[in-house]
Chains A and B, each alone.
Chain A
Amino acid sequence: MTIDRRPLTEQIRRNGPPPTLCEYEDRGGYAAIRTMLTEMTPEEVQREVTDSNLRGRGGAGFPTGKKWSFVPMGDDAPRPKYLVVNADEMEPGSFKDRVLLEGHPHQLIEGIIIAAYAIQAECAYIFIRWAYRRSALALERAIREARESGLLGHDLLGSGFNLTVHVHTSAGRYICGEETALLNALEGHPVIPRAKPPYPQVSGLWGKPTIVQNVETLCNLPHILAHGAEWYRGLGKGKDSGTKLYAVSGRVNRPGVWELPIGTTVREILEHHAGGMQEGYAFRAMQPGGGSTAFLTDAHLDMAMDFESLSSVGSRLGTGTAIILDDRTCPVGFVRNLEHFFAQESCGWCTPCRDGLPWVERLLAALDSGDGRPQDMDILERHVTFLGPGRTYCAHAPGAMEPLKSALEHFRSDFDRHIDERGCPWAKTGTDE
């Protein structure tokens, strides 16, 4: 495997089939696990990953090595242990896991073997949303290939380590991104998040120790093991390590997904990689990490897209997939569309989320249709506070409030105009939608 600044996506062919097992192995694939299975203990793998400072790419950015450290190890640990791959990518604006799933399934499988070995899990589930049909087919084909070559199944490469990998095609709901809700879904229960503690590391799938990991996170592992933690740390630009799949959607010239050093600035991504705004559209704001992240404005364009920088201005790196709001799109309508999604995706367990989000959606709809009243702004403000962290059962409603909260800060005058002008100013001037 060559040392590349784009380890995760380098082997992905644009508009071509994913690398086969042979092609992958020719370019150094599965070499890391051959070494690992013969020369490394699970503890050594955990240490290497901890040293690499890899943080979860699913949105929360939890350090991967630390997550693993909570799994009971040793002979008296409960059995079986599970590794669950969260491939239910459903964050509005996010399509980066799909690229990895469709483009290079063997890389993910190697990552799964490494993570499973590190926590000594004998069974892995890839929880993939129904709409990712092509990804599921590619994965199944790759798993078959790997199994036939002794890379999966009983006694991997004669190491005595066993691992079975199942692909579970889910009905797909946003709340499945919440790891414990995903576990409930996998067990066949209603998709409602679980109480924590117990955390999945101790009591997860069917009550057994379980790690739930995002696709992109796992795809980093083969490269960390192949080139070492130090190399990996060197890939990042700021405090964070490695590369990150960044994506941009909206009225830019070249919407897409790129693997870049983590910590690349917003401006570089937007202007250099996405090609800047389309003609006739001006940048107004962006959600840096998907639909549940707070808006950044042009004041933030020189920020590094990493975990800490974005937190410091009240937003989040999230999935690293940005959505651009331009000047010809109504921000109220934009947020209404998001809140419609979040209200629909509420699991219905706790009151504020279940009944608060639809109210928010309807208030925004009222503003949009000219039925807004000044006191509606107070109700919206109150929801921003009362659907915040700690008030609700899980992070769904707080996530849904992030764009609304920042929209109320940045676009307050636009909200007020909807009330004063009895309708959407954009609708009157005409948008291109």
Chain B
Amino acid sequence: MTKARNHSVTIHVDGRSFQADAQRNLLESCLSLGFNLPYFCWHPAMGSVGACRQCAVKQFKDESDTNGLIVMACMTPSAEGTRISIDDPEAREFRSSVIEWLMLNHPHDCPVCDEGGECHLQDMTVMTGHVSRRYRESKRTYRNQYLGSFVTHEMNRCIQCYRCVRFYRDIAGGEDLNAFGSRDRLYFGRMQDGTLENEFSGNLVEVCPTGVFTDKTLSHHYSRKWDMQSTPSICSHCSVGCNVHLAERAGIMRRVTNRYHSRINGYFLCDRGRFGYEYVNHPQRLRRPAVRPSRENSAPLISLSPAEALARLRSRLSERKRIVGVGSPRASLESNYALRTLVGREHFFSGMSIVEHRDASLILQILTDGPAPSWSIQQVEQADAALILGEDLVHTAPRLALALRQSVREQPMEQLDGLNIHRWQDAAVRTALQGQRGPLYIGSVAGTSLDDVATRTFRGSPCDIARLGCAVAHEICHDSPRISELTSEESALIREIARALASAKRPVVAVGAGTGEAWIIKAAANVAWALHRRGVAAGLVFAPHECNTLGLSLLGGNSFEQTTAIEGDRDRDALLILENDLRRRLETATLNRWLERFDPIIVIDHVDDAILDQAGFVFPASPIACSDGSLVNHEGRVQRFFSAIAKEQDVQVSWRWIQDIGRVSSLESFHAMADWTSLEQIHAAMAEDFPVLRRIGEAAPPAQFRIAGQKIPRAPHRFSGRTVLPVLETIHEPQPPHDPESPLAFSMEGTPSQPPSPLVPFFWSSGWNSNEALNKFQDEVGRSLHNEHLGIRLLEPQPDARSRFFENPPPRYERRNNQLLLVPLPRLFGSEELSARASAIQEQIPKAAVVLHPREADRLGLRKGQAVDVTAPGLTRRLPFETDETMAGGLAGLRLTPGGVSVPLPAWATLKGAPSP
């Protein structure tokens, strides 16, 4: 939605006059004004369809009209002078009748329903005042379906609001969930039992107003909403930085829910973000420091207390050893900065592979030097033309892919004014616009999840995709380098794309870093810059690899493989690895050779799998979900996350371990961090070191922030069992855990007021127990939060920059004899390290495989079921193969799953059918 012009009108509600927005319907206006008007089928992100009839109000023609007519608030515009009554007895009675109808068949199973206590249907029932049952017949029942490891299905509870199918089909583009049947025998489900195919299926849990779709992972360690402590955090499973609420009870992470952010995730999360949290509960998560007495014979690690482990480390570091530090794109900005401070700029390495490091630096350079801004997810949703280059973004930045899917509706929406239809009239909009879609072009190595809404797609090697982008840029602005050797078909497509982008008002170029080809990123920049030269305000959106890739890049340093540049003959240096499994970045033999140069090797992490055999010291870090810090997302926005679980004994946030290690080392640089006791002190130091980070402290209120002297309670006021939980250990009620790092408290005591938006621990309001309480936290429903802090955007473009285009684009991709170009195929489930440890996600991880176009498989003489031997520099693997019609010819896709491959891709590979066993 383009920022609304001032459409202020006066409406009269129950005899009082209010200002409202003419662009909105009466339900939205009433909710924004703070009235309690019940509803089901309307959703702020999905608009109105008028199905449930719950938001009925009485509308009067004018002051003299005393009879009035019942209208649905969600279907009626807030026009100047509109007179309505919410309190009108007939309207009240009608609303209560709607609940009565819905309750004819709704089971009274609230006590055993996972939704109980946070059920919108419960809230609305209470709101309308319907209490006693007059219907004498028996209730309708259904058979439920198995929908996979994420979502539980209980159809008997359904009140037929159609929200699920509207989200799943219209918003997320899913096809395997539908409304079946008619009259009072409707069924919302799949054709048959089976895992929901869509990558955003978890949102059904939140859009369903009652307990039809519930969180299956929560049910494995169930707790009521009122019994969970909830904390505002940032999703760490990709670079988008969606805002989440993490809920905990008794030290166990229970679930993730959406935390509305008006510029990023809005109302929806992806399934990786929602269900990937269980890595926190992983039984093998590191919780004790450990020491390996000998590096030889891969001796086992021995658990020690922190003091003992540090004492042993002191003896190893006493000889004025240098420490080489390896940072991590999945660790906080503060921990990485602490490491850099301790080891010094020249000994600090980013911990990213050469390819990741190069791509991240390139993105930073483009966003700081060029004229094109990086766009937020919300801006992408409003783009009226889009070009996607690279991979299937749903696997690397899923929420971005969801935004791009919405963007195709923007251009057709321009007709609505002429048709006198408001955007919120969802059913009318879809009728009027039918399947019309705005321009979306995709250049990728294989089919993508957005192909169904694409205007046209282009398939080719990463080089070819980059050339396509560069050629589009040249077509838009001839100063941009020319591409030779284009076929006439390619030239026609390029002209079409260029025309679509150049004639748009808000075009966006979206790029994933998942192909490993830097030229794709450069080509995207060329397109956006060419558009700026033509006066088109184009945006760029990148999908770097991990949750803090850009933040880490801001701290400088080289890729860790470049440590070879350090002279280290005198003695072996110590190596300090921060939250990083280097085996994912570098092929094992090379890594092992490289590690020979270091002793001791110190690892700070929470993932047991990430511990190298060579590691001599292991210190248990608290994961992002259990610590405090900052992350920089894909657009360069720094956001704060807070710890969802009280500090565990022996476990601490990485920067504190780094400080402890500094203390036992003999490094002078330690003095710079010796006094750090809070994030605020680190922020001050960072601001001094890095001008770009000067505002980092403003991302959220500091630890000292209080409301009327009180902290913000993580536990709701109805939290129960506080004294019972520890009863096996002690009958005394322990002190609530201390939380010096943030203004939040692990307690139900504290301010009852709404805190600034980054600190909102849960959405809850009087009479609104479900997540729909969010309405009460927004200035206007569906818009900004009260007291909104959006995080700090660090990278703003140079609007007047006349940046030079990237020159010398790559030549056309030539296939080689007997070789195929091996390209990475990242997967939503499996390619990201932490979520792949969550049990619900593990069930959905596809097998590692080589993916080929059927023609290539035939050329290689591969038979169905045969394995393939893949040989590339540094890589020898035997893998199953699969064919995919959408794969570009001349390529072999490598599906990246846990324990995948750690060589730089794309790379030339030889593929041979393995001999039959």
Interface residues of A (CB under 8 A from B): 173, 180, 190-191, 194-198, 202-203, 206-207, 343-352, 354-359, 362, 366, 371, 375, 379, 382, 386, 390-393
Given contacts A351-B159, A355-B105, 11 further A-B contacts (CB under 8 A): A197-B419, A203-B432, A207-B436, A346-B184, A348-B185, A350-B52, A352-B53, A354-B183, A358-B183, A386-B97, A392-B53
- What 6 pairs across the A-B complex have the smallest Cβ distances? A207-B434, A195-B427, A355-B101, A195-B428, A346-B183, A198-B432
B486 CB–A CB distance under 8 Å: no
Interface residues of chain B: helix, strand, loop or mixed (majority): loop
- Contact among A191, A196, A359 with B428 in the assembled complex (CB-CB below 8 Å): A196
Q: Is the pair B182, A190 in contact by a Cβ cutoff of 8 Å?
A: yes
Residue of B nearest to A382 (CB): B97
Q: Is the pair A351, B71 in contact by a Cβ cutoff of 8 Å?
A: no
B515 CB–A CB distance under 8 Å: no
A351-B51, A351-B52 are contacts. A191–B182 as well, Cβ < 8 Å? yes
**Contact pattern, B 171-209, Cβ under 8 Å of A = 1, otherwise 0:** 000000001011111100000000000000000000000
In the complex, what distance in Å separates the CA atom of A382 from the CA atom of B134? 13
Q: Nearest chain A CB to B309's CB is how many angstroms away?
A: 64
A345 contact set on B, CB distance < 8 A: 183
In the complex, what distance in Å separates the CA atom of A173 from the CA atom of B135? 28
Q: Is the pair A351, B137 in contact by a Cβ cutoff of 8 Å?
A: no
B50 CB–A CB distance under 8 Å: yes
In the complex, what distance in Å separates the CA atom of A392 from the CA atom of B159? 16
Q: Is the pair B49, A195 in contact by a Cβ cutoff of 8 Å?
A: yes
- Contact among B101, B181, B434 with A359 in the assembled complex (CB-CB below 8 Å): B101
- Contact among A191, A349, A358, A386 with B94 in the assembled complex (CB-CB below 8 Å): A386
B66 CB–A CB distance under 8 Å: no
In the complex, what distance in Å separates the CA atom of A101 from the CA atom of B615? 87
Q: Is the pair A348, B181 in contact by a Cβ cutoff of 8 Å?
A: yes
Q: Nearest chain B CB to A388's CB is how many angstroms away?
A: 9
A195-B427, A355-B105 are contacts. A391–B53 as well, Cβ < 8 Å? yes
Q: Nearest chain A CB to B62's CB is how many angstroms away?
A: 18
Q: Nearest chain B CB to A371's CB is how many angstroms away?
A: 8
Q: Is the pair A347, B101 in contact by a Cβ cutoff of 8 Å?
A: no
B803-846 CB contacts (< 8 Å) to partner A:
none
B420 CB–A CB distance under 8 Å: yes
B654 CB–A CB distance under 8 Å: no
Q: Nearest chain A CB to B731's CB is how many angstroms away?
A: 52
Residue of A nearest to B140 (CB): A358
Residue of A nearest to B75 (CB): A195
Q: Nearest chain A CB to B488's CB is how many angstroms away?
A: 30
In the complex, what distance in Å separates the CA atom of A27 from the CA atom of B555? 93
Q: Nearest chain A CB to B125's CB is how many angstroms away?
A: 13
A198-B432, A359-B101, A392-B53 are contacts. A351–B182 as well, Cβ < 8 Å? no
- Contact among A190, A202, A352 with B101 in the assembled complex (CB-CB below 8 Å): A352
In the complex, what distance in Å separates the CA atom of A347 from the CA atom of B160? 12
B433 contact set on A, CB distance < 8 A: 207
B219-252 CB contacts (< 8 Å) to partner A:
none
Q: Is the pair A351, B183 in contact by a Cβ cutoff of 8 Å?
A: no
Interface residues of B (CB under 8 A from A): 49-54, 56, 69-71, 75, 93-94, 97-98, 101-102, 104-105, 134-137, 159-160, 162, 179, 181-186, 419-421, 425, 427-428, 431-436
In the complex, what distance in Å separates the CA atom of A352 from the CA atom of B94? 10
B183 contact set on A, CB distance < 8 A: 343-348, 354, 357-358
Interchain Cβ contacts under 8 Å between A and B, 30 examples: A190-B179, A195-B425, A195-B427, A197-B428, A198-B431, A344-B183, A346-B182, A346-B183, A348-B181, A348-B182, A349-B51, A349-B162, A350-B50, A351-B51, A351-B98, A351-B101, A355-B101, A355-B184, A356-B101, A358-B104, A358-B184, A359-B101, A371-B136, A379-B134, A386-B94, A390-B70, A391-B70, A391-B94, A392-B53, A393-B53
Residue of A nearest to B165 (CB): A190
In the complex, what distance in Å separates the CA atom of A386 from the CA atom of B100? 12
- Contact among A194, A351, A371 with B53 in the assembled complex (CB-CB below 8 Å): A351
Q: Nearest chain B CB to A225's CB is how many angstroms away?
A: 32
Q: Is the pair B182, A207 in contact by a Cβ cutoff of 8 Å?
A: no
Inter-chain CB contacts under 8 Å: number: 110
A346-B183, A347-B182, A390-B71 are contacts. A207–B431 as well, Cβ < 8 Å? yes
Q: Nearest chain A CB to B703's CB is how many angstroms away?
A: 49
Q: Nearest chain B CB to A243's CB is how many angstroms away?
A: 36
In the complex, what distance in Å separates the CA atom of A344 from the CA atom of B421? 32
- Contact among B135, B421, B434 with A197 in the assembled complex (CB-CB below 8 Å): B421
Q: Is the pair B434, A202 in contact by a Cβ cutoff of 8 Å?
A: no
B428 contact set on A, CB distance < 8 A: 194-198
Q: Nearest chain B CB to A397's CB is how many angstroms away?
A: 10
A198-B431, A198-B432 are contacts. A393–B184 as well, Cβ < 8 Å? no
A358 contact set on B, CB distance < 8 A: 104, 183-184
Most buried by A among B53, B104, B425: B53
Q: Nearest chain A CB to B117's CB is how many angstroms away?
A: 24
Q: Nearest chain A CB to B97's CB is how many angstroms away?
A: 5
In the complex, what distance in Å separates the CA atom of A17 from the CA atom of B135? 53
B136 contact set on A, CB distance < 8 A: 366, 371
Q: Is the pair B432, A354 in contact by a Cβ cutoff of 8 Å?
A: no
B435 contact set on A, CB distance < 8 A: 207
A203 contact set on B, CB distance < 8 A: 419, 431-432, 434
Q: Nearest chain A CB to B907's CB is how many angstroms away?
A: 47
Q: Is the pair B69, A390 in contact by a Cβ cutoff of 8 Å?
A: yes
Q: Nearest chain A CB to B835's CB is how many angstroms away?
A: 36
In the complex, what distance in Å separates the CA atom of A312 from the CA atom of B182? 35
In the complex, what distance in Å separates the CA atom of A386 from the CA atom of B94? 7
B425 contact set on A, CB distance < 8 A: 195
B421 contact set on A, CB distance < 8 A: 197-198
- Contact among A351, A359, A390 with B160 in the assembled complex (CB-CB below 8 Å): A351
Q: Is the pair B134, A352 in contact by a Cβ cutoff of 8 Å?
A: no
Q: Is the pair B50, A195 in contact by a Cβ cutoff of 8 Å?
A: yes
A350 contact set on B, CB distance < 8 A: 50-53
In the complex, what distance in Å separates the CA atom of A172 from the CA atom of B185? 18
Q: Nearest chain A CB to B437's CB is how many angstroms away?
A: 12
In the complex, what distance in Å separates the CA atom of A352 from the CA atom of B69? 16
A197-B419, A386-B97 are contacts. A375–B50 as well, Cβ < 8 Å? no
- Contact among B56, B182, B419 with A391 in the assembled complex (CB-CB below 8 Å): B56
Residue of B nearest to A200 (CB): B431
Q: Is the pair B160, A393 in contact by a Cβ cutoff of 8 Å?
A: no
Q: Nearest chain B CB to A375's CB is how many angstroms away?
A: 7
A203-B431, A348-B160 are contacts. A375–B134 as well, Cβ < 8 Å? yes
In the complex, what distance in Å separates the CA atom of A344 from the CA atom of B433? 31
B434 contact set on A, CB distance < 8 A: 203, 206-207
Q: Is the pair B431, A195 in contact by a Cβ cutoff of 8 Å?
A: yes
Q: Nearest chain B CB to A400's CB is how many angstroms away?
A: 12
Q: Is the pair A359, B135 in contact by a Cβ cutoff of 8 Å?
A: yes
In the complex, what distance in Å separates the CA atom of A202 from the CA atom of B137? 45
In the complex, what distance in Å separates the CA atom of A190 from the CA atom of B70? 27
In the complex, what distance in Å separates the CA atom of A390 from the CA atom of B179? 25
Q: Is the pair A354, B419 in contact by a Cβ cutoff of 8 Å?
A: no
Q: Is the pair B436, A348 in contact by a Cβ cutoff of 8 Å?
A: no
In the complex, what distance in Å separates the CA atom of A191 from the CA atom of B432? 17
A195-B431, A196-B428 are contacts. A359–B419 as well, Cβ < 8 Å? no
Residue of B nearest to A198 (CB): B432
- Contact among A197, A354, A391 with B184 in the assembled complex (CB-CB below 8 Å): A354
Q: Nearest chain B CB to A307's CB is how many angstroms away?
A: 23
In the complex, what distance in Å separates the CA atom of A379 from the CA atom of B162? 27
In the complex, what distance in Å separates the CA atom of A182 from the CA atom of B420? 23
A346 contact set on B, CB distance < 8 A: 182-184
A355 contact set on B, CB distance < 8 A: 101-102, 104-105, 184
Q: Nearest chain B CB to A90's CB is how many angstroms away?
A: 14
In the complex, what distance in Å separates the CA atom of A404 from the CA atom of B54? 24
Q: Is the pair A348, B186 in contact by a Cβ cutoff of 8 Å?
A: yes
Q: Is the pair B186, A202 in contact by a Cβ cutoff of 8 Å?
A: no
In the complex, what distance in Å separates the CA atom of A357 from the CA atom of B104? 12
B52 contact set on A, CB distance < 8 A: 350-351
Q: Nearest chain A CB to B51's CB is how many angstroms away?
A: 5
A392 contact set on B, CB distance < 8 A: 53
